[in-house]
Amino acid sequence: MCCCGKCNQVANIMNTSSLAGKVIRAPSLKRGKNGEASLGEKVKLERVLGLTVSSNAALDCDPDTELVVYPAGCTVVLFNPIKNRQSHLLNSSRKTITCLALSPDGHYLVTGECGHLPLVRVWDLHEEGSPGVQVAELPSHKYGINCVSKDNTTDYAENICSRVSAHN
C-alpha cells in the first residue's frame, strides 16, 4: 500500500464507472506553486540500455577517441568503450532522433529528428562541464529528416529529407 495518497486517488478513479468520454491525465511534472523542483529536475539518467537505430545514418564513431554515438528515442548516447561510460544528450523537443553524424574532428555532432516540423540540431561536444551543448538548430523541414552530415572544411551541416537541402 502506497503512503503518498495519489495511488489511492488513481485507484478510486479507475474503479469509477462514470469515466465514459473523460480523459485522465497524470499529474503535471512542472514546478508546483510552492517552488518545488519538478521530477525531471530531480532525476538523472544513469544508463541507457538499447538503441533506436533504424539505418546506418543513425550510428557514428570518432576514430581518434573511439567515442560511439547512437540514438535511443529522444536521447543521444555518447558511449566511451575504453572507460565503459555513457553520457547523454537530451533532445529538448522530445522528438525521436532519426539520424546523426560527428564532424570529422569529433568536435561537433549533428542530429536530425522525426515528426512534424523537425529540426537539425548541432551540438558542441567539447563544452566544459557538459557532455554537449546545443549550439544551433536549423528549421525548414516539414517532415522527418533521414540523413545528416557535418563537413569540417565548411560551416555547413547537410541534411536529407524529402528534398536535399543545405544550411549555413
Mean pLDDT of 111-131: 85
DSSP 3-state assignment of 147? strand
- Asked if residue 122 and residue 109 are part of one domain, the reply reads yes
According to DSSP, residue 28 is labeled P
- At 21-34, the pLDDT tens digits run 444 443 444 445 55
Q: Is the pLDDT of residue 120 over 80?
A: yes
Asked if residues 85 and 77 have their Cβ atoms less than 8 Å apart, the reply is no
Most confident option among 3-12, 107-116, 157-166: 107-116
| Residue 1 belongs to some domain of the structure | no
Indicate whether 20 and 61 sit together in one domain: no
83 and 141 together in one domain: yes
- pLDDT for res 30: 44
Query: Closest by alpha carbon to 146, among 100, 108, 107, 106?
Result: 100
pLDDT at residue 55, rounded to an integer: 80
In a domain, residue 125? The reply is: yes
**Model pTM above 0.75:** no
Is the pLDDT higher at 165 or at 139? Answer: 139
Cβ(69)–Cβ(89) below 8 Å: no
For residue 60, tell me if it sits in a domain: yes
Residues 82 and 163 in one domain: yes
pLDDT band, residue 36 (cuts 50/70/90): low
Q: CB under 8 Å to 99, separation ≥6 — which residues? A: 55, 57, 58, 71, 111, 112, 145, 146, 147, 148
Domain that includes residue 18, residue range: 6-41
